[in-house]
Amino acid sequence: MTARTIMVQGTASSVGKSLLVTGLCRLFRRAGLRVLPFKAQNMALNSAVGADGGEIGRAQAIQAEAAGAAPCADMNPVLLKPEGEARSQVVVLGRPIGSLGAREYHDRKPELRAVVRESLARLRARSDVVVIEGAGSPAEVNLRDRDIVNMDVAHAAGAPVLLDGDIDRGGVFAAFVGTLELLEPADRARVAAFVVNKFRGDRKLLEPGLEFLAGRTGVPVLGVLPFLRGLRIADEDSVSLDDRGHGRRAGPGELDVAAVRFPRISNHDDLAPLEQEPGVNVRFVEAPDQLDASLRAARGLRAPAAPAISTREAAYERLADAALEHLDWTLLTRLVGLEWPRPAPWSVP
C-alpha cells in the first residue's frame, strides 16, 4: 500500500515547520504507524550523515530519529549548502554534484524534480504515513514556476497542506490571509488547515481572531501550539541565531562564552548543550570588539552522546504531547486519511 501523506508549509522561514513535523512524526509513531519525514530541498549548512552514508539536512535526521527510523538520503534528496551570496554546493541523494550559481541551479530544476519524485515514492513504499516539510513560503510568486519543494510536492503527493504561522513575531493573521491570496486557485485548494505556532498567553483572547480567520478564508484552524522552551533540538540553519544570545553579557559568577558568527556558519548547534548549562551565557558575536569573554569559540563544543540522545527523546515527546493536546485530533486523522486510536500522553520515565 502506498503511504498517506500530510504536508507542513509555512507563511515564512523559521515559523516552526521543522519542529511541527518532528512532533507529528513522534505522535504518529506513538500511534503505532510507520512514519517517515521528507523535505525535497533544504538550504542549510547544518547537516548530518544518514545510515546510507549520504549527507542530508540536520532537521531531517532529527525528524527521522523522532519517527524511529534510520535517516537516509531519500528524506532530503536535494541539499543546498551556501558558499556565497548566490552560489551553493549542491548535494543530490547525499552526494555533492558541484558548486552552482543560482541560475545554473534553477536550470537543473527539471531533472531534480524527477529525483524528488523518485525519493518520495521510495519512502511511501515502506511506510504508512510520510510527513512532508516545505521550505520558506509557498507564496514566493517569483519562484512559482521553478518550485520543487512546496506546492509542486503537495500536488505530486496528493498531500493536504497545514499552513503554519508564527504568532510570536506578530502579524500572523495577515500572513495567513496574504499567503492564501497570493496562491493560485489549485494551490489554495491544497491548504486544508491553519496551525498557529509559538503562542503565549490566554487562548480565549485569541478566539476572535481564529473565528475571523476561518470565516474570511473558509479554512479551519487545526490548532494553536504553545511556545515551547528548552527543547534542546538542533536548529536547521543560522536564521535561528537571530533569536539567540546576541546582546546579553554574563552576569556575576557566570561563564561568558563568545561564539564567532561567521557569514555562513556551519554546525553552530554544537554549542546548544553549552547554552543549556546553568551558569553559562553563550552569545554569538560578529565584531572583534565583542570577543571579550571568558571563552571564545570558532565553531562549537560537543556534548557526550548519551545525555544528548536522552534530552532529544524528551523533546520529541514534548512536541508530540503539544500536538496531541492542542491540535484537533479528529480533523488531523481525517486529513491523513487513516483511522487509529488517539495515543496516550507521554509518561515521564
Q: What is the mean pLDDT of each run of 10 residues along the chain (349 residues)?
A: 94 95 96 96 90 94 96 97 87 94 92 97 97 96 93 98 96 97 97 97 94 97 94 60 56 74 54 71 65 55 49 91 95 92 81
pLDDT at 83: 86
Question: Does residue 284 sit in the same domain as residue 185?
Answer: no
Q: Is 136 part of a structural domain of the chain?
A: yes
| DSSP H or E stretch at residue 71 | none
Q: For residue 85, what pLDDT is reported?
A: 78
- Does one domain contain both 148 and 244? no
Question: Three-class SS string for 296-335?
Answer: EECCCCCCCHHHHHHHHHHHHHHHHHHHHHHECHHHHHHH
**CB of 1 closer than 8 Å to CB of 130:** no
Q: Provide the pLDDT for residue 288.
A: 54
Do both 131 and 26 map to the same domain?
yes
Domain around 51: 4-232+305-336
In a domain? residue 243: yes
Q: What's the pLDDT at 262?
A: 52
**What is the reported pLDDT for 249?**
67
325: CB partners within 8 A, 6+ apart? 345
> Does some domain include residue 348?
no
Q: What are phi and psi of 234, to 5 degrees?
A: -60, 135
Adjacency order of strands within the sheet including 221-226 = 35-38, 129-133, 4-10, 161-166, 191-199, 221-226
Residue 347 lies in a domain: no
Note whether residue 323 is domain-resident: yes
User: Is the same domain home to 65 and 28?
Assistant: yes
Is there a single domain that holds both residue 215 and residue 265? no
Question: 127 and 23 share a domain?
Answer: yes
User: Residue 186: which of 220, 151, 136, 218 has the closest Cα?
Assistant: 151
State the number of CA atoms in the 13 A half-sphere of 297 facing the CB: 24
> What residue spans of 183-328 are helical by DSSP H?
185-188, 203-217, 272-275, 305-326
346 belongs to a structural domain: no
* Cβ-contact 232, 273 below 8 angstroms: yes
Same domain, 210 and 132: yes
Q: Are 44 and 57 in contact (CB under 8 A)?
A: yes
Q: Are residues 94 and 24 in the same domain?
A: yes
Give φ, ψ of 321 to 5 degrees: -65, -40
Residue 345 lies in a domain: no
- Residue 292 and residue 181 share a domain: no
| CATH code of the domain containing 92 | 3.40.50.300
Output the pLDDT for position 221.
98
Domain shared by 222 and 249, yes or no: no
**Do residues 22 and 38 share a domain?**
yes
Say how far apart CA 124 and CA 205 lie, in whole Å.
41
User: Distance between CA atoms of 140 and 151, rounded to whole angstroms?
Assistant: 11
> What pLDDT, on the 0 to 100 scale, is given for residue 31?
93
Structural domain includes residue 265: yes
The structural domain count of the chain equals 2
Q: Are residues 181 and 269 in the same domain?
A: no
Pick the closest to residue 181 from 170, 167, 191, 171 (CA basis).
191
Look up cell 490548532; give the residue: 223
